[in-house]
Amino acid sequence: MDQQEQHKREMNIGAHLAWSAAFLASGNAADSSQNLLAAAFSYYYSVFHAGFALINTDHTFHMPDMELIHHNKVESYLENNLPTPMPINAKNLRATREFLSYLGAGAPEEKLRIVRGHPVSTALGTRDIRGLVNLARNDSEDLFKHLYKAVEDFCKANDWQPLKFGREYFVDEYLDEDILLNVIPRDASGTPIIRRALDLLSKG
Protein backbone atom coordinates (compact mmCIF):
# COMPACT_ATOMS: atom_id res chain seq x y z
CA MET A 1 0.00 0.00 0.00
CA ASP A 2 1.48 3.35 -1.00
CA GLN A 3 0.90 6.73 0.66
CA GLN A 4 -1.75 7.74 -1.85
CA GLU A 5 -3.84 4.65 -1.16
CA GLN A 6 -3.42 5.06 2.59
CA HIS A 7 -4.65 8.64 2.33
CA LYS A 8 -7.73 7.53 0.39
CA ARG A 9 -8.47 4.93 3.03
CA GLU A 10 -8.05 7.53 5.78
CA MET A 11 -10.50 9.83 4.01
CA ASN A 12 -12.98 6.97 3.70
CA ILE A 13 -12.62 6.24 7.40
CA GLY A 14 -13.22 9.85 8.43
CA ALA A 15 -16.16 10.33 6.10
CA HIS A 16 -17.97 7.07 6.85
CA LEU A 17 -17.54 7.27 10.62
CA ALA A 18 -19.12 10.74 10.57
CA TRP A 19 -21.88 9.48 8.27
CA SER A 20 -22.45 6.55 10.63
CA ALA A 21 -22.83 8.91 13.59
CA ALA A 22 -25.22 11.08 11.57
CA PHE A 23 -27.43 8.07 10.85
CA LEU A 24 -27.39 6.89 14.45
CA ALA A 25 -28.22 10.36 15.77
CA SER A 26 -30.97 10.75 13.14
CA GLY A 27 -32.32 7.34 14.11
CA ASN A 28 -32.48 8.40 17.76
CA ALA A 29 -34.35 11.57 16.80
CA ALA A 30 -36.82 9.68 14.60
CA ASP A 31 -37.24 7.07 17.33
CA SER A 32 -38.06 9.73 19.91
CA SER A 33 -40.79 11.13 17.66
CA GLN A 34 -42.17 7.62 16.98
CA ASN A 35 -41.16 7.74 13.30
CA LEU A 36 -40.38 4.04 13.40
CA LEU A 37 -39.71 3.52 9.71
CA ALA A 38 -37.08 6.25 9.57
CA ALA A 39 -35.54 5.07 12.84
CA ALA A 40 -35.14 1.48 11.65
CA PHE A 41 -33.53 2.52 8.36
CA SER A 42 -31.15 4.90 10.13
CA TYR A 43 -30.06 2.31 12.68
CA TYR A 44 -29.18 -0.13 9.91
CA TYR A 45 -27.25 2.39 7.84
CA SER A 46 -25.29 3.59 10.86
CA VAL A 47 -23.79 0.12 11.19
CA PHE A 48 -23.33 -0.22 7.43
CA HIS A 49 -21.16 2.91 7.33
CA ALA A 50 -19.21 2.06 10.50
CA GLY A 51 -18.55 -1.37 9.01
CA PHE A 52 -17.32 0.19 5.80
CA ALA A 53 -14.98 2.41 7.82
CA LEU A 54 -13.51 -0.71 9.41
CA ILE A 55 -13.09 -2.40 6.03
CA ASN A 56 -10.78 0.44 5.02
CA THR A 57 -8.30 -0.67 7.68
CA ASP A 58 -7.90 -4.04 5.94
CA HIS A 59 -5.27 -3.95 3.18
CA THR A 60 -6.58 -7.22 1.74
CA PHE A 61 -9.80 -5.45 0.80
CA HIS A 62 -8.70 -3.66 -2.37
CA MET A 63 -9.58 -0.06 -3.18
CA PRO A 64 -11.37 -0.83 -6.50
CA ASP A 65 -13.72 -3.10 -4.54
CA MET A 66 -14.69 -0.14 -2.34
CA GLU A 67 -15.75 2.25 -5.09
CA LEU A 68 -19.24 0.76 -5.04
CA ILE A 69 -19.68 -1.19 -1.85
CA HIS A 70 -22.51 -3.72 -1.64
CA HIS A 71 -24.44 -4.61 1.47
CA ASN A 72 -23.51 -8.27 1.19
CA LYS A 73 -19.81 -7.40 1.22
CA VAL A 74 -20.10 -5.36 4.39
CA GLU A 75 -22.28 -7.98 6.07
CA SER A 76 -19.87 -10.77 5.13
CA TYR A 77 -16.89 -8.79 6.40
CA LEU A 78 -18.58 -8.08 9.72
CA GLU A 79 -19.61 -11.72 10.04
CA ASN A 80 -15.94 -12.70 9.86
CA ASN A 81 -14.54 -9.89 12.00
CA LEU A 82 -16.97 -9.33 14.87
CA PRO A 83 -17.15 -11.25 18.14
CA THR A 84 -20.22 -13.36 18.89
CA PRO A 85 -23.12 -12.43 18.93
CA MET A 86 -22.50 -9.19 17.04
CA PRO A 87 -22.64 -10.70 13.52
CA ILE A 88 -26.14 -11.97 14.31
CA ASN A 89 -27.15 -8.55 15.57
CA ALA A 90 -25.85 -6.95 12.36
CA LYS A 91 -27.86 -9.43 10.30
CA ASN A 92 -30.94 -8.70 12.39
CA LEU A 93 -30.59 -5.00 11.59
CA ARG A 94 -30.62 -5.81 7.89
CA ALA A 95 -33.54 -8.20 8.31
CA THR A 96 -35.53 -5.47 10.07
CA ARG A 97 -34.72 -2.89 7.41
CA GLU A 98 -35.72 -5.27 4.61
CA PHE A 99 -38.88 -6.38 6.40
CA LEU A 100 -40.01 -2.78 6.76
CA SER A 101 -38.74 -1.63 3.36
CA TYR A 102 -40.57 -4.32 1.43
CA LEU A 103 -43.42 -5.05 3.86
CA GLY A 104 -42.03 -8.54 3.89
CA ALA A 105 -44.82 -10.27 5.70
CA GLY A 106 -45.48 -13.01 3.15
CA ALA A 107 -49.10 -13.32 2.17
CA PRO A 108 -51.04 -10.25 0.96
CA GLU A 109 -53.52 -10.54 3.80
CA GLU A 110 -50.69 -10.36 6.34
CA LYS A 111 -49.31 -7.23 4.69
CA LEU A 112 -52.71 -5.59 4.78
CA ARG A 113 -53.10 -6.51 8.45
CA ILE A 114 -49.88 -4.63 9.24
CA VAL A 115 -51.04 -1.58 7.31
CA ARG A 116 -54.35 -1.69 9.18
CA GLY A 117 -52.51 -1.61 12.49
CA HIS A 118 -52.78 -5.23 13.59
CA PRO A 119 -50.01 -6.99 15.56
CA VAL A 120 -47.23 -8.52 13.48
CA SER A 121 -45.24 -11.64 14.19
CA THR A 122 -41.56 -11.42 13.27
CA ALA A 123 -38.67 -13.84 13.10
CA LEU A 124 -37.01 -11.86 15.91
CA GLY A 125 -39.83 -12.66 18.31
CA THR A 126 -41.46 -9.24 18.53
CA ARG A 127 -45.19 -8.66 18.13
CA ASP A 128 -45.03 -5.14 16.76
CA ILE A 129 -42.87 -2.70 14.85
CA ARG A 130 -42.01 -0.86 18.07
CA GLY A 131 -40.36 -4.00 19.39
CA LEU A 132 -38.32 -4.40 16.21
CA VAL A 133 -37.08 -0.84 16.43
CA ASN A 134 -36.15 -1.25 20.10
CA LEU A 135 -33.95 -4.20 19.15
CA ALA A 136 -32.49 -2.27 16.23
CA ARG A 137 -31.62 0.72 18.43
CA ASN A 138 -29.79 -1.39 20.99
CA ASP A 139 -27.92 -3.40 18.35
CA SER A 140 -26.98 -0.32 16.36
CA GLU A 141 -25.58 1.54 19.35
CA ASP A 142 -23.58 -1.47 20.54
CA LEU A 143 -22.18 -2.15 17.08
CA PHE A 144 -21.31 1.51 16.51
CA LYS A 145 -19.31 1.64 19.75
CA HIS A 146 -17.47 -1.57 18.95
CA LEU A 147 -16.67 -0.67 15.34
CA TYR A 148 -15.64 2.88 16.20
CA LYS A 149 -13.23 1.63 18.85
CA ALA A 150 -11.81 -0.98 16.47
CA VAL A 151 -11.09 1.71 13.88
CA GLU A 152 -9.66 4.04 16.50
CA ASP A 153 -7.37 1.32 17.86
CA PHE A 154 -6.11 0.59 14.34
CA CYS A 155 -5.43 4.26 13.60
CA LYS A 156 -3.49 4.78 16.82
CA ALA A 157 -1.48 1.58 16.40
CA ASN A 158 -0.59 2.35 12.77
CA ASP A 159 -0.27 6.13 12.98
CA TRP A 160 -3.21 6.75 10.63
CA GLN A 161 -5.47 9.74 10.33
CA PRO A 162 -8.13 10.62 11.30
CA LEU A 163 -7.86 9.14 14.80
CA LYS A 164 -4.15 8.88 15.52
CA PHE A 165 -4.36 12.00 17.71
CA GLY A 166 -7.60 10.95 19.38
CA ARG A 167 -11.29 11.66 19.01
CA GLU A 168 -11.16 15.30 20.05
CA TYR A 169 -8.72 16.07 17.25
CA PHE A 170 -10.81 14.02 14.81
CA VAL A 171 -13.94 16.06 15.56
CA ASP A 172 -12.50 19.52 16.14
CA GLU A 173 -9.64 19.63 13.64
CA TYR A 174 -10.06 16.88 11.06
CA LEU A 175 -13.80 17.26 10.46
CA ASP A 176 -13.92 21.03 11.12
CA GLU A 177 -16.77 23.19 12.43
CA ASP A 178 -19.08 22.71 9.46
CA ILE A 179 -19.40 18.98 10.02
CA LEU A 180 -22.58 17.60 8.41
CA LEU A 181 -23.75 21.13 7.63
CA ASN A 182 -25.65 20.10 4.49
CA VAL A 183 -27.14 17.05 6.18
CA ILE A 184 -28.27 18.22 9.61
CA PRO A 185 -29.90 21.67 9.81
CA ARG A 186 -28.45 24.19 12.24
CA ASP A 187 -31.82 25.16 13.69
CA ALA A 188 -34.08 23.97 16.47
CA SER A 189 -34.91 20.70 14.72
CA GLY A 190 -31.29 19.88 13.95
CA THR A 191 -29.59 21.00 17.15
CA PRO A 192 -30.22 17.85 19.21
CA ILE A 193 -29.24 15.66 16.25
CA ILE A 194 -25.91 17.37 15.62
CA ARG A 195 -25.24 17.42 19.36
CA ARG A 196 -25.87 13.68 19.53
CA ALA A 197 -23.72 13.00 16.45
CA LEU A 198 -20.82 14.98 17.89
CA ASP A 199 -21.23 13.22 21.22
CA LEU A 200 -21.04 9.84 19.48
CA LEU A 201 -17.89 10.85 17.62
CA SER A 202 -16.29 12.29 20.75
CA LYS A 203 -17.18 9.51 23.18
CA GLY A 204 -18.43 6.59 21.11
Q: Tell me the per-residue pLDDT of 98-142, one tens digit each, with 9 for 90 and over.
A: 989 998 878 899 899 889 988 777 777 767 889 899 999 999 999
- CB count within 10 Å of CB 154 equals 18
CA distance 27 to 48: 14
pLDDT at 88 over 80: yes
Average pLDDT, integer, range 39-57: 97
Percentage of the chain modeled with pLDDT above 90? 75
CA distance 75 to 141: 17
CA distance 203 to 182: 23
CA distance 176 to 167: 13
* Beta carbons within 8 Å of 79's beta carbon, 6+ residues apart: 87, 90, 91
Of 51, 92, 57, 50, the closest CA to residue 73 belongs to 51
CA distance 10 to 53: 9
Q: 136 and 31 in contact (C-beta within 8 Å)?
A: no
Percentage of the chain modeled with pLDDT above 70? 100
- CB count within 10 Å of CB 60 equals 5
Determine the pLDDT at residue 77.
Answer: 93
Average pLDDT, integer, range 165-187: 94
pLDDT-based confidence at 15, cuts 50/70/90?
A: very high
pLDDT at 66 over 80: no
